[in-house]
Chain A
Amino acid sequence: MTEMLVLPFYVVMDVSYSMTMASQTPDGAPKAPIDSGNDVVKEVKIALEDSPLLSDKVRFSLIDFSDDAQVVIPMCDLTTVAPHDIPTLTARGGTSYAAAFNLLKKQISQDVAQLKADGHKVHRPAVFFLTDGDPTDDDSVWQGGFADLTSPGFKERPNFIPFGVAQAKKAILDQLVYPPGKMRSFIQQNPNDAANGIKAMAEILIGSIVGSVTSFSEGSESGAFMLPEPDEDEDVWL
């Protein structure tokens, strides 16, 4: 049987309490970042529903994290999940990056093995990581977790794209770009508009899904992962 290619996308969303602090959106209505986080899944799902070529190849998972991390949507074809079955993100606790990295590594190992067992050829996973602040772990702990996740010894190490809104710092998130030089960080220019920043992240995520699936190529060793340039006229990101 011919192996069918799939590309796993993970969205890893910070659900610390600060994600509930509403900011003004461009249309004037206040919106909490966590609500925009919930919209991300809907927007990805609609984009996949709209395109049989995308839904054939894209597998999606949502993980949230605060003091701990949990799988909110296990790796799946998102078009097969009914909207009312999609859990709503709710805030809890602090911001442990390490918890997210450790769970991600475990999940990626399991998910890739499962997809392969189902007869798929699996491209390198992509992780879209969103946070609104600094990690509450000690530096050595989160840095160790990230090093572990992206270690050359971890065969399924993902492409990692960090997004920072509100109080997140570029100096920290730049350390989470993997592979460095090929991927980049996205730090919101206006820290008071986190909800809009998350919406912009969804656009980049969907652009990446479309670009990556379109570039899939047999025999390619690049992982076929594409990251679109953000719209230069919108000035959302640093």
Chain B
Amino acid sequence: MALRVDEHELGQLKPLAKGGMAEVFDLPDFRIGEHPEWPLVYKRFKKATRPIPIFGLEALVKLRDGLHPDQQKAMDQQFNWMVRVVVDGQHGASGILLPRLDGTYFTKKYNSYGEVSEGPCEAQNLTATDDFFQRWRIPNPSMEQRFLLCRSLALGLGKLHRAEVIYGDLSLRNFLYRLEPTVSVMFVDTDAVRPKGGSSPLGRQPHTGDWEPPEALAAQRSGNKVGFAIQNFETDRYKLGLAILRILARVPRAGETRDPNHIKSVVPTNTFTMLQNSLHGKPADRPTAKDWYQEFR
């Protein structure tokens, strides 16, 4: 299977979205041989982000390709994983190809000017108060749906860890959610992940603010910049616990809370204990994604 494609082979590029590091284009003319039914998008890295080594990105394409077909299908259900590396004759990769996201992960958005648009249903919505959902007419997940979202999150991260891959910069900005037809989450920004023992293709990824594990903050306080940036399975587990807390908390500024007491009254005792172990225990004692998945079954 070809791992890379030249940009000039992609045909028409239709601008879809623009972010700080990349611009995303729809590709109406291009398909890949193994999944001709998949519509694709091209995430083109901005010049300021380049050069990005081709090798690391190709390793991630290969990683998915090397999975057992059942495992691959399971990954595809929850990860917007790159399927090709794009080159343009300049140094490094110019971008990656990704399956176009399923429309079920998009939502209509209203604003105070009465305008309506459609955009990705980012998990950060889950930290908002009820007022946010009412005001912008976005469905407000019930507690039951929130537990199902937590289960889906744990399932996804568990799949990634089983494949020996560290997500790294997990936060509520890096996955989308849907409530129909099934309650589930979809991880995005998968070009920043790293296989265990390897580096992220995009270089060292900082922790998103308010998501730093305690060991990173301790390293920062002692001036240890390398220690501050370390991301491993234990930091993923910390962030999983934090995401669960913030999804279930339903308090003002839930996106910043680290206090498990916010949900003590709404979760079973064992869930609360697991959360305490996630956020306040030793890194090695943090519940795994599999532990969480079983807790929410």
Interface residues, chain A, with chain B CB atoms under 8 Å away = 2, 4-5, 42, 45-46, 49-53, 56, 79, 82-83, 207, 210-211, 213-220, 224, 228-229, 231-232
On chain A, the residues within 8 Å of B207 by CB distance are 217
In the complex, the answer to whether A56 meets B46 with C-beta atoms within 8 Å is: no
B175 CB to nearest A CB, Å: 14
CB neighbors of A among B27-51 (8 A): 46-48
Chain A residues within 8 Å of B122, by CB: 51
Chain A contacts for B132, CB-based, 8 A = 52
**Assembly CA distance A5 to B257 (angstroms):** 12
Instruction: List chain B residues, Cβ under 8 A from A213.
Output: 209
What would 19 more interface pairs be, CB under 8 Å, given A4-B256, A49-B136, A211-B20? A4-B253, A42-B113, A46-B113, A46-B115, A50-B111, A51-B124, A52-B125, A53-B173, A56-B255, A79-B112, A83-B113, A207-B20, A214-B173, A217-B210, A218-B217, A219-B217, A224-B209, A229-B48, A231-B46
Contact between chains at B217 and A53 (CB < 8 Å): no
Residues 102-143 of chain B: 1 if any A CB is under 8 Å from the residue's CB, otherwise 0?
Answer: 000000010111010001001011011100100010000000
- For the complex formed, measure the closest distance between the CB of B22 and the CB atoms of chain A, giving whole angstroms: 11
In the complex, the chain A residue whose C-beta lies closest to that of B210 is: A216
Nearest CB of A to B164, in Å: 28
Which residues of chain B from 243 to 297 have any CB-CB distance to chain A below 8 Å in the complex? 253, 255-256, 259
* Cβ A215 vs Cβ B112 within 8 A: no
**Cα A49 to Cα B122 with chains together (Å):** 13
A201 vs chain B, min Cβ distance (A) = 16
The 8 A CB mask of B160-179 against A (1 = contact, 0 = none) is 00000000000011000000
Contact call A215/B206, Cβ cutoff below 8 A: yes
List B contacts of A220 (CB < 8 A): 220
Query: Which A residues lie within 8 Å of B217 (CB)?
Result: 218-219
Specify which chain B residues have a CB less than 8 angstroms from the CB of A45 in the assembled complex: 111-112
Distance A224 CA – B206 CA, assembled complex (angstroms): 13
Cα distance, A152 to B280, chains bound together (Å): 39
18 A-B pairs with C-beta separation under 8 A = A46-B111, A46-B115, A49-B111, A52-B124, A52-B125, A52-B129, A52-B255, A56-B253, A56-B255, A56-B256, A79-B112, A213-B209, A214-B208, A217-B212, A218-B210, A218-B217, A219-B220, A232-B48
Chain A min CB distance to B246 (Å): 10
- Bound Cα distance A24, B132 (Å): 38
In the bound assembly, the distance between CA atoms of A39 and B54 in angstroms comes to: 41
Q: Please, which residues of chain B bring their CB within 8 A of the CB of A46?
A: 111-113, 115
Q: Which residues of chain B have C-beta atoms less than 8 A from A214's C-beta? A: 173, 208-209
CA distance A5 to B209 in the complex (A): 11
Judging by beta carbons under 8 Å apart, are B111 and A53 in contact? Answer: no
For the complex of A and B, list the 3 residue pairs with the smallest distance between their C-beta atoms, beginning with the closest: A216-B209, A52-B128, A229-B48
Evaluate contact between B209 and A217: CB separation under 8 angstroms: yes
Counting CB contacts under 8 A, is B221 at the interface? Answer: yes
Q: Which of B3-62 contact A (CB under 8 A)?
A: 18, 20, 46-48
Residues of B within 8 A of A79 (CB): 112
Tell me, in angstroms, the Cα distance from A50 to B122 when the chains sit together: 10
CA distance A80 to B111 in the complex (A): 12
Q: Which residues of B are found within 8 Å of A83, using beta-carbon distances?
A: 112-113
Q: How far is the CA of A54 from the CA of B47 in the complex (A)?
A: 26
User: In this complex, what residue of A is CB-closest to B132?
Assistant: A52
Nearest-neighbor residue (CB-CB) of B128 within chain A: A52
**A50-B109 in contact given A210-B20, A216-B209, A217-B212 (Cβ < 8 Å):** yes
Which chain A residues lie closer than 8 Å to B210 at the CB level? 216-218
For the complex, give the distance between the alpha carbons of A216 and B210 in Å: 7
By a CB distance below 8 angstroms, the chain B residues around A215 are: 206, 208-209
Residue of A50, A51, A53, A228 with highest tally of chain B CB at under 10 A:
A53
> Within the assembled complex, what's the spacing in Å between the Cα atoms of A146 and B40?
51
**A232 partner, pick from B18, B47, B253, beta carbons under 8 A:** B47
